[in-house]
Structure formats: structure tokens, C-alpha cells
Structure 1
């Protein structure tokens, strides 16, 4: 059975032992998967597919051996699975702490992509992702290797908790640093955060607020959670899970492997085009999502960024309008 993840991870001795074993292992190899963890391997709800786990472990142990990671836990995400936050056992973001033998799965959103009307449609539905890519302004998930980095916390606005009470919504964001095809993650502002925002904003007079602007106004809106929706390419967790994940990497970076990368997508697309199951060429994709999307597609930045740039040039944004003032019924 999956366990809720521990915030403690390895003890110091366990981590030193793992690091020593990782350094002693031959280049490119991964230590054997322990039996307790193999019990969680599979394609059913609450399980992790073997290729996803193997990639995540290989990345983690390589960074431990390089001395870049000392965290006792590492992360993996299977973006080929459906997004179903209503069923915790159906999650696709994995928190694995091998020192204390803990394995946990939580929900996570995927990049929504965009539909550039009449030019290119690389948008994704809520449940399954068809399109992936690493282009700027594409709002797509890019699979591959990442390291967690600094956490930034910012005020997003006030929202009502009752008829006469308000609360400030403060959201934290952990920056991801990518490797290889994901190397532009910082340029794309890709990271992880709670799937929540303040929408329908108006400006209220609140001069005593530490978040007030120079005129004494602050934004006020409605708190919206979208754990069952899509993101701008970032990894989004439910508001209840996000603080736990963020606390694990605050000042203590670790690795995240997001499956699939471009080579996986191309292999599966080739199998589908040939009328074959992906398993015939050794590939993996969640069966229910593959049935839903037909065939996946990877949009490389070299191809997609010029298309997005031309679309922007042909469709300049409308002049921005000032945020409206809150009326008496809102205040």
C-alpha cells in the first residue's frame, strides 16, 4: 500500500550509505530496485510504471554520486497517466524516500498547451496530455530530467473566507533547473506550485495591508483551485499537497524525472502509426490515455518557437485596461 510521504527522508547514515553505493556503481548503472519498492511497480492505480521508476532512480543516484543532491527523497511524474485529483490512488506524481521505505503518489496537473487559431493547435484536454514540448510560451509539459532549486513566495491577492473576513493568498513556487532538452526550464519559468489562483480581481482600499500599493490598494478576488485542470507547463499540485512537497525541497534540492521525453513520444507515435502496440518496440504509455489521445506529439522548440513568435507579431495584444475598483457590494 502507498504511504503518505515522510518529511524526514533518510537518516544521515542511510544517506551516506546510499551515496557511497551510488559512487561505487558502474557509470550509467542503477542499484537494484529493492523488493519493497518493486511492490509498487506496475500500471494499476497507485503504482509506478517500471520505465518511469528506472529513469527517476538513475537520475537521482547519479546526482547523489556527483554530490549535487543530499535529499533523502526524489520525485517522478508520469505525464502519460490521466489526471484525476478526485481519486488519490490515481495520482501520477511520485514521492520516493528509499531510506525509510516510503512511497507516495499524489495528483499533478499537466501543461494545457495553446490553440493558435488557424496556425497550430497544440492544446491538451484536462484528463490526458497529447502534446508535449519545450518551446517558450507554449504552455506545454516537457518531459526529462530536472533538479529542484530555489523557492519563491509571492502575494497573489486577497479572497473572502466569510462575509466579513478576508485572507491573503500567498503562493510558493519551486524553480526547476532542467538538463538536456529541459535545460531552458528557468527561461520558461518552469517549476512546481499549488494549483490555485485568485481570479476576478478588483482593487480595494486597504492601506493598512503590508501588500498595499503606493496608493493604498490591494487586489481582491475569488480563490480558485484547479487541481483537476491544466497549467502553463509547470507541475501543479493540490493546495493540500503542495506545502508538503515544497517543505521537502526547501534548501535541500532533489531530482525530478518527468516521463515521457521526446524519444519516448516519437517511439510511441511510430508504433501507433504502424498499427502496433507501443510494447512491441519496448515503449510505454498509459493505455487509457493513449486510447483517448490516439497518438502523442512532441513539439521541439526549434520548430514551435518561430510559429509562436510569428503568431504574436500577427496578433498584437490589446492595450491593457486598468484593474477595476471594487464596488460597495464587493467590499
Structure 2
């Protein structure tokens, strides 16, 4: 309650105790310093993305669901990489800070016998919420717990063996994003280990019962694609993840209805106007038209053509001494 009161005094909530809805949120309700960040340029945020992200945050804040002084937004219609690639936003209105960084998007999949719903590295064409689709789903999220896990060892530039500990922030969704936990959708640094083999390191706290640990080559895929999660570069993740110790909101644009509306406009050859749904112009030119794959449509296809059988428990990996 004290936090809501302080934000009211700071001008973040026009009527204390009442959260603005996305439909009623007007640009005039956004503080002047924050309105200066609205636009299509480098490091700027589209007006509709900011309005919806802010409305979601104020709604959850007033309901006591979140406590953080900061909230987040992502514009998945923008390109990934280059000068225009900063499309993940950290907004802290209490101290008037706004920061834009790069983030990855869902790669999609090419499944034998099914339509190709893959995405390129730069622009997203396919979106969806089906389990195992590897697609980004736009809509409202609230951040949940952060889990840090051991991924294996790698050799760094100083020729030292380093343990890769990667943090993962779980997202909770609603509506189209409601199966975020089931899909293990969240945020994490864009690093992983490739070419995994096992090495005998019995004194390692991460060794299995055979004294072995996974050992691989570190790959930094910042600016690349993911399995549907939100990924940041390691330096950016080090700044973002500490801000998530308290639950807050993340709004990802576009939602299913936005995608369908843009696709319908393109199909009808309607000229774009400020009153029509927003999409980044450079990516729209590249993808032609976006598509949303619902779990009702894509789920049965993935279930039928799933390539990855469930792993059997087996024995802990062995390695040579």
C-alpha cells in the first residue's frame, strides 16, 4: 500500500487505487519524460507497446500482485540485431529510468510432415502458444521464481575450467500465455554448452556418482533465436535479473488478435494507417505477413510428428579417468 501511495505521489497513477485498462490508457496519462521515449527509432518504444505494458503493471500493482518499482516490455515485431534491435525495455518510473536492450525470439520448428513454422534470425513471422512449438507468444506475463542451475564446465580464454551457472526467470501468463509454466517459458542469458562430453572430476561439487561432469564449448547466442524464451546477452542479464527478485510484469507485443488483424489487412491490401494495428515496417517488409499458430491448431500436429522421445532414466554418465 505504501508503494502504491508513493507511486501516486510520483504521478504514476492518476487515481490512487484504480488501475488503468489497456483500452482506456491514453498517451496523455504517460509522464512527459517517458513519452519522450515513444517512437520507431533506435532504442525507442512503440506507443501501443508502452501503453499496454504500463496498464498491465498499474493493474497488477494496484491489485498487490507485484511490488517491484520496475516493469518490462518487449516488441517482437522489431528486428533482432542491428541498430533497431533493441526491443526489450526496462521501465522504472519512480527514478525515471528507461533502458532498451536486445533480446532473442522463438525459433519455431520445421517438423516433418507439418507446415514450416520456423523464424529467421532477424524478424519473427510465426508466433504461437502450442507446447514444444519453440514460438514466442505475445501477451501479459508476471515474473515468478528465479532458478539457477549448473550446465557444465567450459574452458575460458585464460585456459581455466569454469562452471557455467545459468539463471532462469520463470514467467506466469494469462489468456493466450496461460501455459507459460507448462512450456517452461521465461528469461535467461543467451549462453549454452555445445559438444558436451564427460570428464572425470570427482572433487567437483557437481560430479555425479561416477565422479563425472559435463564439459563442453561455450556458445553465446545473443542476437540469435531461442526455444520460445526471452534471452538476453550475459551483460544485460546481469542487470535485468536482479531487478526480478520481486515479482513484476512483462508485456510482450503482439498478441494473437494483433497478428490476425495485421494479416487480414495485408490480405485485403488495406493501406496502413495510424488507426490500424501496429507492426514494425522493416520487419513487415521482410516477412510479408505474420501468422499466429494456436495450440488447438499446432498442438495435434506436434503430438503426431514429435521427433524427440522421452529420455529413459538410465545410469549416470561415465567417463575415463
1:262 equivalent in alignment to 2:259: no
1:311, distance to aligned residue in structure 2 (A) = 0.8
- In structure 2, the residue matched to 1:14 is 6
1:54 equivalent in alignment to 2:44: no
| Separation of aligned partners in 1, 2:169 and 2:93 | 23
- In structure 1, the residue matched to 2:64 is 67
Given that 2:4 and 2:16 are in contact with CA atoms closer than 8 Å, whether structure 1 keeps it comes out as no
Choose from 69, 92, 103 the match for 2:87.
92
1:207 equivalent in alignment to 2:237: no
| Separation of aligned partners in 1, 2:152 and 2:211 | 14
| Separation of aligned partners in 2, 1:188 and 1:126 | 21
Choose from 33, 37, 44 the match for 1:36.
33
Residue 283 of structure 2 aligns to a residue whose secondary structure is helix
CA 1:20–1:80 in structure 2 vs 1: closer, same or farther (change >3 Å)?
closer
1:133-176 CA distance string (max 9 Å, x none) = 00000000000000000001100000001474110000000000
Aligned residues: 314
Choose from 183, 188, 191 the match for 2:186.
191
1:46, distance to aligned residue in structure 2 (A) = 1.1
- In structure 1, the residue matched to 2:138 is 143
CA 1:68–1:105 in structure 2 vs 1: closer, same or farther (change >3 Å)?
same
If the length of structure 1 is used for normalisation, what is the TM-score?
0.88
CA 1:294–1:221 in structure 2 vs 1: closer, same or farther (change >3 Å)?
same
Given that 1:20 and 1:65 are in contact with CA atoms closer than 8 Å, whether structure 2 keeps it comes out as no
Residue 6 of structure 2 aligns to a residue whose secondary structure is helix
1:72, distance to aligned residue in structure 2 (A) = 0.7
Given that 1:74 and 1:96 are in contact with CA atoms closer than 8 Å, whether structure 2 keeps it comes out as yes
If the length of structure 2 is used for normalisation, what is the TM-score?
0.91
Choose from 98, 101, 109 the match for 2:96.
101
Gaps of 5+ in 1: 1-9
1:48-73 CA distance string (max 9 Å, x none) = 00010011011000001111112111
Given that 1:268 and 1:278 are in contact with CA atoms closer than 8 Å, whether structure 2 keeps it comes out as no
1:323, distance to aligned residue in structure 2 (A) = 9.7
Choose from 273, 276, 301 the match for 1:279.
273
Q: Give runs of ≥4 in structure 1 deviating > 6 Å.
A: 10-13, 318-328
Given that 2:21 and 2:55 are in contact with CA atoms closer than 8 Å, whether structure 1 keeps it comes out as no
Given that 1:207 and 1:217 are in contact with CA atoms closer than 8 Å, whether structure 2 keeps it comes out as yes
Choose from 93, 107, 122 the match for 1:112.
107
1:242, distance to aligned residue in structure 2 (A) = 0.7
Given that 1:30 and 1:61 are in contact with CA atoms closer than 8 Å, whether structure 2 keeps it comes out as no
Choose from 274, 289, 292 the match for 1:295.
289
1:44, distance to aligned residue in structure 2 (A) = 1.2
CA 1:57–1:326 in structure 2 vs 1: closer, same or farther (change >3 Å)?
same
Given that 2:209 and 2:316 are in contact with CA atoms closer than 8 Å, whether structure 1 keeps it comes out as no
CA 1:236–1:271 in structure 2 vs 1: closer, same or farther (change >3 Å)?
same
CA 1:91–1:26 in structure 2 vs 1: closer, same or farther (change >3 Å)?
closer
1:23 equivalent in alignment to 2:10: no
Structure 2 counterparts to residues 152-163 of structure 1, below 5 A? 152-162=147-157
Structure 2 counterparts to residues 211-230 of structure 1, below 5 A? 211-230=206-225
